[in-house]
Each structure stands twice: as structure tokens, then as C-alpha cells.
């Protein structure tokens, strides 16, 4: 009987973690989330649907997904429920200590999926399993060793990206449509938007859109829009001196009372509390 394996999550301080997981059954869909770390997600086998940066991707065996810090993302199972993966998380500082130049390649900003050749897959798998081994054994200088292995992996990524900058993206038509809609929402958050309007505009039935959007992104339609709007509001609260009222209007909330409610639900803070804690412009 095949069983799920959830390997231990190895940590190096708060800055790096690695974990090996294998799933056979359908696992419940994790909520979409974000964190300040980079996430590298390598699929040893199987297939996963990814929602990152407003795009739906199908990640296949031998591919690596890159999730930049603080990017909302979620994963869902495709028709094949089985998959095996290695998950690496690290803070940007872990690689570029104190912002000093390390000679390491920049982590690609636009490319979310790396399509390794067979050779590169073998290399990547070797590096990842050595990271796991080092963490498990914990021998002297293992932290340095892991850092070097990660550096090698990043170089591999960058070389692969340089060689093949446009990975073939054969999008399932449904995925493409949901991606388009998500992109539209990210662009038009300031306007009043409804599910019905979107379904008309993109030629799908309302109920179908309602369901596939959730299945592929992990967000309910409304929930995603809220997330996009609140994130935009956060930027403006931190980066401008605009009044809360104005920001509410700019981000698609017609009424402040509703803006406050939603903002607090998502953020845990009232708009002004948030501004106080995250102000990025010097106060006059």
C-alpha cells in the first residue's frame, strides 16, 4: 500500500528550510498564501497546478517553480493526484549577505517555471538530495555546505534560463482563460467588477467560472479581488499620504466603512494602524 510521506522540514535558522513530500491521495487544497522567502518547488514526479503571480501553470515532472518573496500563490492537483516534490524556502539575505555582491546570478524575476533538460534534472536532483542529506546529517560545516549547494542550484537555474529564456507554455485553454481573468482583475481592481460581468466578457457561464476559478487558483473569485484590492491599498497607505477615503475609492471600494471592514479582515490592522507601521516615505 502506497502511503504519503511527509519528510521532516529541516531549518537553518529562520532563513532556509527544505522538505521532501510525496502524496498519493487527493490532499485538501491548501489556502493561497505568501511569505517573505523565495520558494523553489521541484517536482520529482507527477503533476501540479500552480497559481503564481496571477497565472495558472501546470508544473510537470522535472520542472521547477520559482515563487518570489511575498507573492500570493497556491497549488492544486491536476487529474493526476500523485506527486513527489522537494520544497526549498530561503530569505533573500540568505544568498546575498547584507546586499553585498556574491557573484551569484540574480534570481529570475519574470520566469516562474524552469524547464530542465534531462541532464539538468539529474543535476538539480543531485543538488537537492545533497541538501537534504546535509541537513539530515548535520555534520560540521553543514550550513556552509547547504549554502554552496543552493548557490550551485541557482547558477543552474540561471544557465537554463539563459539558454532557453522562453519555456514552451502549452496552456490548457481553461488555465489560459482563468489567467486572463486574473490578469484583468489585477489591472482593473479600481472599477466595480462582478463575476457575472467577467463571465460575459470572457464567454463562460457564471457558475462555471465561479467553480473553475476556485479550483485553479485556490481563491474564490470575490476573495481574490479582495486580496488584490487590499494589497494595492497597502501599497498606497505605505507609499503615499493620501487620505484613507481616497485610497478606498482608488482601490475599488465605494464605501469606507466597507473598506475598513475588508482591510482589517485581510490584514488584521485598520488602515491607519497599517500606515503607521509600514510608512515608507519620511513624514514631512
Q: Which of 67, 225, 230, 233 binds DNA (CB under 7 A)?
A: 225
Q: How many residues bind DNA (CB under 7 A)?
A: 35
Measure Cα distances from 173 to 27, 53, 81 in Å: 25, 18, 20
Indicate the residue among 109 and 268 with the shorter CB distance to DNA: 268
d(CA 201, CA 195): 10
Best CA proximity match to 51, nearest among 226, 205, 171: 171
**Least distance from DNA to the Cβ atom of residue 229, Å:** 8
d(CA 114, CA 208): 31
Kindly write down the DSSP assignment for every residue of 187-221, as one continuous string: HHTTS---HHHHHHHTT--HHHHHHHHHHHHSS-H
Burial class for 273, CB neighbours closer than 10 Å (0-12, 13-18, 19+) = middle
**Least distance from DNA to the Cβ atom of residue 188, Å:** 13
Q: Which of 66, 221, 227, 234 binds DNA (CB under 7 A)?
A: 221
- Name the E strands within the chain: 5-6, 10-12, 16-23, 38-52, 55-60, 63-67, 73-77, 83-90, 113-115
Scanning 12-20, 91-99, 110-118, 263-271 for contacts with DNA by CB under 7 A, the matching segment is: 263-271
273 makes contact with DNA (CB under 7 A) = yes
Angle between helices 118-137 and 142-163 (to 10 degrees): 170
Is-contact 112 65, C-beta < 8 A? yes
Indicate the residue among 127 and 181 with the shorter CB distance to DNA: 181
**Least distance from DNA to the Cβ atom of residue 72, Å:** 16
Indicate the residue among 24 and 214 with the shorter CB distance to DNA: 214
**Least distance from DNA to the Cβ atom of residue 52, Å:** 20
Binding map of DNA across residues 182-201, x = CB under 7 A, - = no contact: ----------x-xxx-----
Scanning 21-29, 73-81, 103-111, 205-213 for contacts with DNA by CB under 7 A, the matching segment is: 205-213
**Least distance from DNA to the Cβ atom of residue 123, Å:** 42
Binding map of DNA across residues 22-51, x = CB under 7 A, - = no contact: ------------------------------
**Least distance from DNA to the Cβ atom of residue 215, Å:** 9
Bridging pattern class, strands 73-77 and 10-12: unpaired
List, in sequence order, the alpha helices (H) in 218-255. 221-239, 244-250
Q: Which residues bind DNA (CB under 7 A)?
A: 192, 194-196, 205-208, 210-211, 213-214, 220-223, 225-226, 243-245, 253-258, 260-262, 264, 270-273
Amino acid at each position: 500500500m502506497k502511503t504519503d510521506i511527509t519528510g521532516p522540514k529541516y531549518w537553518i535558522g529562520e532563513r532556509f528550510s527544505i522538505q521532501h513530500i510525496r502524496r498519493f491521495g487527493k490532499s485538501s487544497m491548501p489556502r493561497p498564501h505568501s511569505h517573505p522567502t523565495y520558494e523553489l518547488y521541484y517536482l520529482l514526479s507527477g503533476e501540479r497546478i500552480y497559481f503564481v503571480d496571477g497565472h495558472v501553470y501546470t508544473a510537470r515532472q522535472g520542472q521547477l517553480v520559482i515563487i518570489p518573496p511575498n507573492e500570493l500563490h497556491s497549488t492544486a492537483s491536476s487529474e493526476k493526484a500523485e506527486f513527489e516534490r522537494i520544497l526549498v524556502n530561503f530569505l533573500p539575505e540568505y544568498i546575498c549577505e547584507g546586499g553585498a555582491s556574491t557573484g551569484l546570478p540574480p534570481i529570475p524575476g519574470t520566469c516562474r517555471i524552469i524547464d530542465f533538460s534531462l541532464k539538468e534534472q539529474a543535476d538539480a536532483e543531485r543538488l537537492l538530495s545533497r541538501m537534504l542529506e546535509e541537513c539530515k546529517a548535520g555534520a560540521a560545516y553543514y550550513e556552509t555546505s547547504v549554502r554552496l549547494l543552493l548557490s550551485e542550484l541557482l547558477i543552474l537555474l540561471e544557465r537554463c534560463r539563459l539558454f532557453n529564456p522562453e519555456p514552451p507554455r502549452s496552456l490548457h485553454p481553461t488555465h489560459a482563460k482563468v489567467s486572463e481573468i486574473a490578469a484583468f482583475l489585477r489591472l482593473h481592481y479600481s472599477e466595480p467588477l462582478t463575476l457575472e460581468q467577467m463571465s460575459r466578457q470572457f464567454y463562460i457561464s457564471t457558475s462555471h467560472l465561479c467553480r473553475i476559478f476556485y479550483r485553479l487558483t485556490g481563491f474564490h473569485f470575490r476573495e481574490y479581488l479582495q486580496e488584490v484590492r487590499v494589497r494595492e491599498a497597502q501599497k498606497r497607505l505605505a507609499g503615499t499620504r493620501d487620505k484613507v477615503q481616497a485610497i478606498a475609492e482608488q482601490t475599488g471600494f465605494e464605501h469606507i466603512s466597507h473598506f475598513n471592514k475588508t482591510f482589517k479582515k485581510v490584514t488584521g490592522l485598520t488602515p491607519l494602524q497599517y500606515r503607521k507601521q509600514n510608512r515608507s516615505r519620511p513624514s514631512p
